[in-house]
Amino acid sequence: MPAEPTTPTSAPQRDASGTFHLRQGAPGPSPVLVPAPTEVLTLQDAAVLLQVDTGALRRLAEAGELPGRQIGGHWRFSRWAVLDWLAQGGATHRAPTRLRRAS
């Protein structure tokens, strides 16, 4: 079995599943580096984050209750805006914004 790198500044290593592990000088398990969450969410991503049905989320977005934008016919949400909306009890009452592609 190959020896583990012993310097605390060694680069993160990616395993076969795509998970990054940071090798440190001390023996033992390595902490796992989790990729930063995506800041822009699709409708499906936002539904997973909020643990709700995509249809319910789409209705909230179309009614302007959930902060989001429709870009080229696809809903996009800011992760932080969605979490802020949730923390405030869903108290966002703005009209949905639709961005159109430039011709």
Q: Which residue segment(s) compose the domain that 27 sits in?
A: 1-34
Q: Are residues 30 and 5 in the same domain?
A: yes
For residues 34 and 22, what is the distance between their CA atoms, to the nearest angstrom?
10
CATH of the domain at 77: 1.10.1660
Whether this model's pTM surpasses 0.75: no
Cβ 77 vs Cβ 66: under 8 Å: yes
Q: Can you read off the two tokens belonging to residue 44?
A: 């499906």
Q: Are residues 51 and 13 in the same domain?
A: no
pLDDT (tens digit per residue) in 28-40: 665 665 556 778 9
Q: Are residues 74 and 30 in the same domain?
A: no
pLDDT (tens digit per residue) in 43-94: 999 999 999 999 999 999 999 999 999 999 999 999 999 999 999 987 755 5
Q: Are residues 46 and 73 in the same domain?
A: yes
Number of folded domains that form the chain: 2
Q: Are residues 56 and 12 in the same domain?
A: no
Q: Are residues 47 and 95 in the same domain?
A: yes
